[in-house]
Structure 1
Amino acid sequence: MKIIIKLTLLILFLIPALSGANTFYLDGEIFSDINMEIAKEIKIPQGVKSFSVYIGQIQSFSSPTFNQQILSFNTKYSTTPSNIEDKIDENGNKYLIARWENPPSELNINTAFKVKSKVAFSDLKSKSSFPLSNISPDIKKYLSDSPYAQKNDPAIVSLSKKLTEGAKTQYEAVTNVLNWVVDNMKYTLEPPQYDALYSLKTGTGNCQNFSNLSVSLLRAAGIPSRVVIGFTVKNNWRVKHTNDGSTRTLSLADGRHAWFEVYYPDVGWVEYDAQQTLTFVSTRYIRQGVGVDSKEVSDGIYKWSWLQKSNESPSVKEAINATFEDDKNEVQSGKFVSNPRNHLFGILLAAVKEEIPVPPLKKEEVQPIPKPEIPPPPLIKPELPPPPREPVEPTPPEKKEWGDLTKLKYTKSAEFGNLNFPEVIDIFAEYKKKEMAATATDVSMSSSFVVESAEYVTDKEVFAQSFELKTPMMVKDISLAMHKFGGTHGNLWVEIVEDKNDSPIGDKIESERIPINNIRYFNGYKWIPFSLERQKIILSPARYWVVLRYSGDAIFNWFYIYGNPYGIPDDTKSMMPEGSEWNNILSYDFNFRVRGTESE
């Protein structure tokens, strides 16, 4: 028995489990040819004297890891503008400012462009030391303080110093900052503020918050960085793990997005996204403009002045449509390191020591565990007033003898899950009064970064979301945040499946089935409850999975939130085709709700 235990421990040390390895370094290639169209439908009430639209032009761009080439770009108007102005701002961003005097009641603006992009998965070869020195004057702007990136605030300065102290290279300092942001920020679609201080205090925000906080911490450490504004397109891509054949799916929605770039003196600007990637962004990103923070880029701004003040405001509907003429996605990962807690995907820096998974050893090949030359640095957890919200690790259920669960009294109402999602997707929001123009007759509004992040879940691929119970529960229902696009016959239902080997392959319980024709069409996303009440199902403390099932011609989307706002990494999976293994891990958490009663 002792021999078996020692052998087991040795193998666990020598073979890092993929579930515990969190920065995956990639090889292969991605290149795409994309036709993009952005259609704006604008309704203008009576009394508007003039109306202006800021349209950001997409430009070609190249970095050590990402190349974007614009092959064509044109904009068409349903009514010819009174004036079109070409503008280049101090960051080099280009805009068309179209203005209408006495505008019509309806305007349609279509911007179409073709982009060819490529990711170069070759090792970066930066030798930039830390702290940096001799930064050129044209780059120093991206070390400055700004309204949304308050790099001089004492809390930002203190945290930045603690995260980067001891770093010998710029890459190490940047990685320490990024790992902290990844592990201490939770994604939310509609935060009330986008600045770095709000992000630090609450630990929540959207892509703007992630990016503004990241560049603030980097600039406080003397590392030039800037926020990038652009678009993402919904076309998933996958990474295959070469050691076990499993895959990970990276997903983004159609819409506006913010990420950031870091300046390395010896290689130039390098892309980062604190929600997903390290040292690159994929071909699903379309770069439009840069600024010291997310507020400085002006695309999607609408300004108007009143001839006669009205309670109505102009309304804008924006539709983004991307079609791929060509798309090659052959990406593998066989190397990884064990930080951060939440997953990142990156391109390896040549000077970084990587951990390489090794195959299982045969019993006769067992050797003493070698001492690593350079142990990975511990995750720094600074204490700040007020402290940033630390990520909550799910804890195993208390080891308590519950006895016969059927004899317990279930009287305490309980509800949990990934509960927050926008029922109606509103991609435009008026600026707050303090952000409006100075006079009462001049008003502006701006496109927001709210996106419809949802998965089409009634096709061949089967999807599952995990949750954990710490006490026994009699389950009333499980609800999914869904939108019905179509379907007249068949059913929807869910299975609650006991976890086994981190997958939904244990014992299962089926909810009541809902006829698709009984689900009405509705705007946006709503909870669709799947009842288990009549079955009086009692679940013991354990980890479970919710698996969506359907029959017939159902066409439904299931809403999700980027990252892992509910649970732990690897808590969302898919299986394709039916009957194969649950070996595809998703980069988000579905919105779900569990309701019932717990024992006292």
Structure 2
Amino acid sequence: MKSLENALHRVVGYFSPLCKKMFSFLHVLGLYFNPEPPTCPAEVFCIRLSKEMEMKRLLGAIFGVILSAILSGALPARAENYTIRGDMGAEIRYELRERITGGTGVRETTLSVVIPESFKSPTFRQEVRDVDLSFVPRPDEQQKTEDGRGNRIITAAWNGSPAFIDVRLTVNAINTTGLETIETTAPFPPGAVTGDIRDYLRATEQVQSDHPQIRALAGDLTRGGATQFDAVQRLISWVVDHVSYVNPPLNYDALYSLESGKGNCQNFSHLSAALLRAVGIPVRIVNGMTLNRPFDVPWQQGMMTFKMGQGRHSWIEVWFPDLGWVPFDPQNSELFVSSRFIRIEVGVDNNETKNDGLLRWTQTRNAVLKPRLQETLSADFLKDQISLRGNREAYGPRNLLLCPSVRASFQPLAIKPLPPPPVFTEAEKRAFLYELPFVYGNLEFPEDVDFAFPRVTLSAGGDAFEMRRNFLVETAEYVTTNLTQYAQVVILQKPLRLDKVGLALHNFGGGGWLWVDLFADRDGKPGPLIGASVLVNIEEISTRPGYRWVDFDFSRENPILMPGAYWIALGFSGSPVVNWFYTYGKPVGPVHGTRYKGVFARDWSGALNYEFNYRLSGRTMK
């Protein structure tokens, strides 16, 4: 708490002697921060629940006077293309468990598993060792095949439906990501391709590379390009800037992604593949797993931390005639993926790459209970070495895109400045009538989903059914830790009289209280405290599976927020165990708009590659 008092002194001293007198007056009234040492770990960074809460509300009134000076500057335009150098190396003990619970009236049950293969590219290598696959009970029939894409498929079948079927696949994967300078002279337009590679140019139901809208956009974006890297960079940059991550979307194909501007990893992959194939560049779809072990990339202004959910993921590989197949994750990286990726299956689209974890069965028509499948992924990092460095470039895209250094001719993407937030005079502010309901934030997430059983049953015709692998992954951060604090930026373009702040949370239990702190922005990081919500008892939040909105009430204060940047952070006391759901990328805010720091640190120097799900509700002016 002393650090907050010191911060207040610095801000007050900067703005005016009058504010210093106001601060002294508050001390005379006895409304000051408690100087006693904390008696429990949570109090290290949680504001006490008596005088300190009163103090925060009074500070909100003080800072309201000076907020216009803090927030009157324009939001800067930022190019977010980062050149990444260095390497990653990991030895991973990967284990996938699947449990099938039997249904009624089932005549035959079949499960297919794809065995991960070793893979080598200029930037990413996966060496697979010590593969072990077991079934309990033993299948009545087991078959090993290899499809036309080189995927090794094990198919196991059981007569009827055992009460439980337990499947366990373990693999040792040695993954290496090397990010040295890549040199490519592949021309654009590309030359003719032959053999099996030609198949990765064709249009499919999910990759509509022959659709007029997709062909026109791809042609416009690549016009004048002299190298294949130039064309690829332009197309991937467009996808990064024009598609926001949403899971689950209504559809997964490229055309839906283009028209809606939203989707999950399948949509990013299908749209990128469609645009690239439309201009003659072969692309294949990759299915695999991502692991939730984070890694850090230092850059000029701090640390960027990257983290994926633990579960199934889709990305792409692009064919260069002088490089071969090179991996891209079109959500945020080109020419590489990190050592946290487990590559399993490839094909022309995700309808084709469906074999891993595919459960099929035949069942009598009057059967009531269908089989269920629960999938559990774990990974032990036996070794993990990271040495990376990022450098922000002066060209686009606007959203985050990581790339190794490339020696090739390309046209840098210019980024237009963002318009500054509107600025109002004091007379205009006093005349505002806050009458229109207003809701803003990163609003879309899979609400009330039980991530233990995310799959749905599909009819395969007649009395045949199937369950395919699902890309619905739990992406959430444990935010009630005594080690790290998290904050999310909110950028308003309209004045707002704030009533509530909602966070997408799951309560795992424990005891204590939660609240939301609201901060002003200072140089792109949380700054002075504006106010705090009413407290919420953790026992009032459901512990049933899934994430849902938890609203924190600001109606007692109703702070008036002018256009600009603000920060919200979850505060707590006691020992609650709470996760806050996040979305890959930045659907709403800027790249560095999700911050973290150690509880004893002053500077919010760490930035995260995702965006927490939040909503602000209240009223705005007509």
- TM bucket (normalised to shorter chain) is 0.7 to 0.9
Q: Which residue of structure 1 lines up, in the alignment, with residue 129 of structure 2? A: 71
Letter in 1 for 2:515: W
Q: Which residue of structure 1 lines up, in the alignment, with residue 13 of structure 2? A: none
User: Which of 337, 347, 352 is the aligned partner of 1:291?
Assistant: 347
Indicate the structure with greater helix content: 2
RMSD: 2.2
* Percent of residue pairs identical: 33
Structure 2 CA distance for aligned equivalents of residues 130 and 175 of structure 1: 12
Is 2:292 aligned against 1:270?
no
Checking the alignment, whether the CA contact within 8 Å between 1:48 and 1:308 is kept in structure 2 is no
Letter in 2 for 1:34: I
User: Which of 85, 88, 102 is the aligned partner of 1:27?
Assistant: 85
Is 2:572 aligned against 1:553?
no
Checking the alignment, whether the CA contact within 8 Å between 2:99 and 2:167 is kept in structure 1 is yes
Structure 2 CA distance for aligned equivalents of residues 270 and 329 of structure 1: 21
Structure 1 CA distance for aligned equivalents of residues 381 and 84 of structure 2: 23
Q: Which residue of structure 2 lines up, in the alignment, with residue 182 of structure 1? A: 240
Letter in 2 for 1:304: W
Structure 1 CA distance for aligned equivalents of residues 357 and 415 of structure 2: 39
Q: Which residue of structure 2 lines up, in the alignment, with residue 415 of structure 1? A: 439
Q: Which residue of structure 2 lines up, in the alignment, with residue 450 of structure 1? A: 472
Give the superposition deviation at 1:103. 2.1
Structure 1 CA distance for aligned equivalents of residues 77 and 621 of structure 2: 32
Q: Which residue of structure 2 lines up, in the alignment, with residue 329 of structure 1? A: 386
Give the superposition deviation at 1:440. 1.0
Checking the alignment, whether the CA contact within 8 Å between 1:469 and 1:540 is kept in structure 2 is yes
Letter in 1 for 2:618: G
Structure 2 CA distance for aligned equivalents of residues 262 and 239 of structure 1: 25
Q: Which residue of structure 1 lines up, in the alignment, with residue 181 of structure 2? A: 123
Give the superposition deviation at 1:134. 4.1
SS of aligned partner of 1:294: coil
Specify whether residues 312 and 485 from structure 1 end up closer, same or farther in structure 2 by C-alpha distance, changes over 3 A only.
Answer: same
Specify whether residues 18 and 270 from structure 1 end up closer, same or farther in structure 2 by C-alpha distance, changes over 3 A only.
Answer: farther
Give the superposition deviation at 1:517. 4.2
User: Which of 242, 248, 254 is the aligned partner of 2:310?
Assistant: 254
Deviation track 1:225-245 (CA, whole Å, cap 9, x = no partner) reads: 11110000111111101x34x
Structure 2 CA distance for aligned equivalents of residues 105 and 443 of structure 1: 18
Structure 2 CA distance for aligned equivalents of residues 420 and 565 of structure 1: 9
Q: Which residue of structure 2 lines up, in the alignment, with residue 474 of structure 1? A: 497
Structure 1 CA distance for aligned equivalents of residues 329 and 165 of structure 2: 35
SS of aligned partner of 2:195: coil
Is 2:180 aligned against 1:158?
no
Structure 2 CA distance for aligned equivalents of residues 165 and 470 of structure 1: 35
Gaps of 5+ in 1: 1-16, 354-374, 381-392
Deviation track 1:520-560 (CA, whole Å, cap 9, x = no partner) reads: 42211121222212223332333211012223322211001
Mapping for residues 90-109 of structure 1, pairs under 5 Å? 90-109=148-167
Give the superposition deviation at 1:158. 1.1
Give the superposition deviation at 1:167. 0.8
Q: Which moved more, 1:31-40 or 1:276-285?
A: 31-40
Checking the alignment, whether the CA contact within 8 Å between 1:49 and 1:103 is kept in structure 2 is yes
Give the superposition deviation at 1:562. 0.7
Deviation track 1:356-411 (CA, whole Å, cap 9, x = no partner) reads: xxxxxxxxxxxxxxxxxxx735579xxxxxxxxxxxx9754333335385775433
Structure 2 CA distance for aligned equivalents of residues 125 and 470 of structure 1: 43
Checking the alignment, whether the CA contact within 8 Å between 2:229 and 2:408 is kept in structure 1 is no
Give the superposition deviation at 1:505. 1.1
Give the superposition deviation at 1:335. 5.3
Deviation track 1:21-78 (CA, whole Å, cap 9, x = no partner) reads: 3111111221111112222121221100001011111111111100111122222222
Q: Which residue of structure 2 lines up, in the alignment, with residue 169 of structure 1? A: 227
TM-score (norm 1): 0.86
Q: Which residue of structure 2 lines up, in the alignment, with residue 511 of structure 1? A: 533
SS of aligned partner of 2:446: coil
Q: Which residue of structure 2 lines up, in the alignment, with residue 302 of structure 1? A: 359
Give the superposition deviation at 1:223. 0.7
Structure 1 CA distance for aligned equivalents of residues 152 and 77 of structure 2: 44
Checking the alignment, whether the CA contact within 8 Å between 2:395 and 2:415 is kept in structure 1 is no
Count of equivalent residues: 544
User: Which of 510, 532, 539 is the aligned partner of 1:487?
Assistant: 510
Checking the alignment, whether the CA contact within 8 Å between 1:428 and 1:446 is kept in structure 2 is no
Specify whether residues 95 and 411 from structure 1 end up closer, same or farther in structure 2 by C-alpha distance, changes over 3 A only.
Answer: same
Specify whether residues 179 and 536 from structure 1 end up closer, same or farther in structure 2 by C-alpha distance, changes over 3 A only.
Answer: closer
TM-score (norm 2): 0.83
User: Which of 376, 396, 406 is the aligned partner of 2:412?
Assistant: 376
Structure 1 CA distance for aligned equivalents of residues 143 and 564 of structure 2: 62
Q: Which residue of structure 2 lines up, in the alignment, with residue 86 of structure 1? A: 144
